[in-house]
Structure 1
Amino acid sequence: MKKVLLLLIVVIAISCKNEPKKEVKAEIKKVEVKKESFPEELGKVFKAHGGIDTWRNAEILSFKKGEEVHTVDLQSRINVITAPNYAVGFDGKEVWLDETEKGAFKGNPAFYHNLYFYFYAMPFVLADQGITYEKIDDLIVDGVNYPGYKMSFDANKGSSPDDNYKLYYNPETYQMEWLAYTATFRTKKPSDKFNIIKYGKWNNVNGLVLPTEITWYKKDENGVPTEPARPATVFTDASISKNNLVDSFFAKPIK
């Protein structure tokens, strides 16, 4: 009996030893690292303005243009402009207009609601997804060569995908100096007529170097800026903050 019991114990031990071990796999969470698509030189421009990571992590941008207060959720791009007699906004689905009296707002809300945000948030908005970059000839102004890139958009990008931009930067500081752009919102057709804006006065807003004023310029027959076409557009009271706004902040007021 003892021999049988001993034999049984040996068989069981050998069976347990030969049993395949079960692998315990730890759950590994894959973190997707965003790969930027812009050229290395433009990366230096973004760095000169505070860095693309600082921009990507910013939440709420606010600035004033005259009596207008522009507020933008940088993550979703919903926005609102408030003024004494009107408000214009985009709630993520539609553009809306609210006026104290009919005709208080002059312009097209769909065109205007993010117009100055794009001009103000340069150069960072030119790091958005869906943009194609092309190295172009330098812009030469008063004997200074400004290297540049041309940006075009995917066909389904925004309300004016046929718009093109040309960004020119200072070759020593890498700060943005000039912006040329086409306006195709109304025509919905590509254009080779470029307007040009001078950038040059900046302010550090919570780590982002953003403009305090921009000036539209006249151009000669070669597209080189010659003199201001109008007084400078001034931006004040800029801030970057955490998003602690309620959803209704960007919605059309209910009356």
Structure 2
Amino acid sequence: MNEHTETLRKRRPYRLSLIILPWLILNGSCLYKSAPPNLPSVENPAKGRVPEPEPTWSVEFEENFSGFEVGSEPENLFILDGAYSVSEEKADRRLTLPGSPVGDFGLLFGPRVREKSLSLSFSFLMTRQGRRLPALAAGLGGVRSYRFRFNAATKEILLTRQEEEIGRVAFTWESGVWWRARFQALPGDGERTRIQLKLWKREQEEPGGWLFDQLDAKAFAGGKCALWAYPYSGTPIHFDDILIESKAP
């Protein structure tokens, strides 16, 4: 081996590194040009983003009347008419409207809730007397917004908006039994509102389905909640476990 050959062999590693190094720089940099799959990219900023949690119901008002003296008128209720007061039976206190005089007697309660979904649930107890049957009603958004009225005599529930009928459904009621109701107004897209209603015996589990569930072509303005009692049977009407909840749309 002569001196020229030995010199070429010594230079080969150096020349090889000059060839490989630019290739690694060029191709290695390409591996980092695209964003990792789990991070947002310029083309799709939402890709890989953790979804926001669904809004949940928040309690706006709750009352079971256990903190009031028997015979008192709860100060957190705005009674429109009627001799409502707290009564007690078997250590259970509730709000009672006497069976006389006969008429329609209402009350407002809770905060004014606006721009949110609104849910009102409550328990009630009514009894018949011979052929005379009672009635009751509940409202969402004040006295002239959404209201359902149950007439035991006609065995049906009437749903109205500002006194205009928007639906009705048959309902079989049992006298002398505690019932529970859930009434909801859910603002939708544009000027629409979903109205939902269910009633069931208080001793039973809440049913999954709705007795009434439909879209109304009007926007829900919100407001206070209301209850009305109509003691047409001449017997007391009782309310208990009132709960108002709201949820961001």
TM-score, with length taken from structure 2: 0.25
TM-score, with length taken from structure 1: 0.24
Question: Which has a greater percent of helix?
Answer: 1
* Higher RCO (CA-CA < 8 Å; seq separation 6+): 2
Question: Which has a greater percent of strand?
Answer: 2
Q: Select the structure of larger CA radius of gyration.
A: 2
